[in-house]
Structure 1
Amino acid sequence: MSERSIGPFQVGPVALGCMNLSHAYGHPATETQARALLHAALDAGVRLFDTAALYGFGTNESLVGPMLKPHRNRITLASKGGMAGVRGDDGVMRRVIDGHPKTLRRNCEDSLVRLGTDVIDLYYLHRWDPRVPIEESVGEMSRLIEEGKVRALGLSEVGVDTLRRAHATYPIAALQSEYSLWSRNAELGTLQATRELGIAYVAFSPMGRAFLSGKLPAGTSWVPGDIRAGMPRFQPEAYAKNLRLLAPMQAIAQRADCSLAELAIAWVLHQGEHVVALPGTTRIDHLHENLRGAQVALDAALLAELDALFAPEAITGDRYALASQREVDTEKYAFEQC
């Protein structure tokens, strides 16, 4: 597949999410593993690398920034603020969503230091803070562009209304949200809105947090720190029901002459020329498998089969528990509150 546009940047259809190296799945990579993976991605032509202040409470930026620095002029570096770790009076780091201008500025400046760069190519608001009008948050982020600290702006996990308001304040280059065969909220409006507005749709977790790869064990026992342990669709009863989808998906993959992971990536990329897939991994073999997904061609019949197989009503369990669902400005949640 051809390169895709994110604001002023041209990137490959498959990017690399760096979160897995430090955060969320219970097995952080060693420095040696991280370096090998990043170099393999660079050698394979990956252009977009994505991190955030939240990941490992800053450790992910500190890990990947120096490793990518020698290649800075040939990559697009993305990070996020507005959701970061804050140390409480008890000394424990906790995730805090804060979209106040002063906080966003501090988050950005801290990220620049950790990343070891003078400018972040694509800077996202990681979560919209409903206490702060989106216009205020984006307005402050636009001032970071004026000061040369950021080159383009993005948003993460927002709905159509918030996206349009933000874009009217300052041009938004990318919307990053979860999108995969089994997470289809994008189709309630944001996928079409980004297409209309000329905004890239950066689809994180395009393999459903590894579920769609078929490589998770049937009776998963989560290690400490793995966020899937608290997600409804990975709970034992729901997970057992969801596993039934993989056999018919495998049959489709065989007809498309590809693996399940390649099929999942290919499906996402076929949803529009403005869509970029953002999988994450700690393994080089998985990295190359993800990239091969961009070479898989799916005809209309196969796409229709996949759409029907993974219709939203066929998925058991929400993607987030209620507390986390309340933190994302998705159309599904907004509709549920009406």
Structure 2
Amino acid sequence: MPDGNPLIGRVGFGSGTMIAQGYGQVDEDAARGAVEAAYQAGVRFYDTAHFYGSGRSEAIVGEILQGRRDEVRLCTKGGVRYTDPTNLLTLVCDSSYDALRRFMEESLTRLRTDHVDVYLLHQFDPALTPEQQMENLLRLKEEGLARDVGFCNFGAEAARRALATGIPTAVEYSFSLLDHRYLNELAASGERGGLRITYGSYVHGLLSEDFTDDHEFDPDDWRGRSRREGRSGTSGNVFFAGDAFAANLAIARRLRALADPLGLSLAAFVLALTVRQPYSDVALFGCRDAAEVADGLSGLSADLDDETLARAAEILATANRPAENLLGL
């Protein structure tokens, strides 16, 4: 990655895919290599979460970035856990202060630091009001455990009320070339000067992997369950369920055909297009090994002329993007 590339500051390493439950088999050595490769390439923003891999994601990020703490920004998330780590459907929320304090202490231990740069509530806790949840975050900030605090995956009304407290200085939402569901929430935070982090740049693999229409996912891969059962809601299920899967693969093939003459993979081309969008300050990209990191970041050095950008826009204009906020409250 050439020194001084301004786009490198627009991307962040998303560690959910590399180690979290639900994406098939995990290779921890490859995950370590991915974090190291991202650092060597100039990535300085790292996003993880308490419940990714039941803490293994945070532990790996902390291990690889030990001794480099002053050079990077660490973002983690708390407030959710699995009652059964082997079952993704057993997720429960708890954003009480006592619970968040425990989540935070465990996260800091694994990340090998005394504070994080950004701390987010992973999901809305229906047992508390948005205002109460923000007050609990503020206590953590006042204790010096987080520089910025905010939320991830709040519904439209909860986000409005949370932002109105003036406490959140960061938000994180799903956003990609195919996902514009949460532009209002991202815009509202940006208008207040908040840090806008977006995840799902590759749409959970739809815009990076070489799927076929009849692709068979691993038994423990949530994307396969979405294909079979048509689940929808807070995650990326809507892009895999029913007819959406084939339609999105068709978009991916057209983008791949546009990327090929440029010598770029689909993942590299998609990341290059995504970081040029005005909706986020940090666009996360998920990788599971060093080769995927290098491949994705290679697109940031590509010279995308006006004709290429216009042709990509024409392709994406045919996508049937879900636009409404599908989150509760």
Q: TM-score, normalised by structure 2?
A: 0.83
- Of 27, 30, 38, 1:29 maps to 27
Query: Once the 2 structures are TM-superposed, how far is the Cα of residue 205 of structure 1 from its aligned partner?
Result: 1.3
Deviates further, 145-154 or 288-297: 288-297
In 2, Cα distance between the equivalents of 1:153 and 1:240? 38
- Of 188, 194, 198, 1:193 maps to 188
Given the superposition, is the C-alpha separation of residues 191 and 306 from structure 1 closer, same or farther in structure 2, using an over 3 Å criterion?
A: farther
CA contact 1:212–1:261 (8 Å) conserved in 2: yes
CA contact 1:265–1:290 (8 Å) conserved in 2: yes
Given the superposition, is the C-alpha separation of residues 130 and 298 from structure 1 closer, same or farther in structure 2, using an over 3 Å criterion?
A: farther
Q: For residue 243 of structure 1, what is the amino acid of its counterpart?
A: L
CA contact 2:170–2:197 (8 Å) conserved in 1: yes
- Of 110, 114, 131, 1:114 maps to 110
Aligned residues with identical type, % of pairs: 31
In 1, Cα distance between the equivalents of 2:295 and 2:289? 10
Query: Once the 2 structures are TM-superposed, how far is the Cα of residue 272 of structure 1 from its aligned partner?
Result: 1.5
Q: Which runs of 4+ in 1 moved over 6 A?
A: none
- Of 282, 287, 293, 1:281 maps to 287
Q: How does 1:209-248 map to 2 (within 5 A)?
A: 209-231=204-226, 232=230, 233-235=239-241, 237-248=243-254
Paired position in structure 2 for 1:99: 95
Tell me whether 1:332 sits opposite 2:325 in the alignment. Answer: yes
Cα deviation per residue 1:213-251 (whole Å; 9 max; x = unaligned)?
242344311113212112343347542333222332234
Query: Once the 2 structures are TM-superposed, how far is the Cα of residue 274 of structure 1 from its aligned partner?
Result: 4.3
In 2, Cα distance between the equivalents of 1:55 and 1:276? 20
CA contact 1:61–1:115 (8 Å) conserved in 2: yes
Q: How does 1:144-223 map to 2 (within 5 A)?
A: 144-187=140-183, 189-223=184-218
Query: Once the 2 structures are TM-superposed, how far is the Cα of residue 43 of structure 1 from its aligned partner?
Result: 1.0
Tell me whether 1:74 sits opposite 2:71 in the alignment. Answer: yes
Cα deviation per residue 1:36-83 (whole Å; 9 max; x = unaligned)?
222211111110111111111222223322332222121111110111
Paired position in structure 2 for 1:325: none
Unaligned runs of 5+ in 1: 5-10, 319-329
Q: How does 1:247-258 map to 2 (within 5 A)?
A: 247-254=253-260, 258=264
CA contact 1:139–1:170 (8 Å) conserved in 2: no
Query: Once the 2 structures are TM-superposed, how far is the Cα of residue 291 of structure 1 from its aligned partner?
Result: 1.6
CA contact 2:134–2:167 (8 Å) conserved in 1: no
Deviates further, 42-51 or 62-71: 62-71
Paired position in structure 2 for 1:326: none
In 2, Cα distance between the equivalents of 1:97 and 1:285? 35
RMSD: 3.1
Q: How does 1:129-148 map to 2 (within 5 A)?
A: 129-148=125-144
Cα deviation per residue 1:183-239 (whole Å; 9 max; x = unaligned)?
12133x123223322223212110111111242344311113212112343347542
Paired position in structure 2 for 1:128: 124
In 2, Cα distance between the equivalents of 1:293 and 1:171? 36
Deviates further, 248-257 or 148-157: 248-257
- 1:206 match: secondary structure: coil
Deviates further, 100-109 or 230-239: 230-239
In 2, Cα distance between the equivalents of 1:59 and 1:256? 37
Given the superposition, is the C-alpha separation of residues 213 and 274 from structure 1 closer, same or farther in structure 2, using an over 3 Å criterion?
A: closer
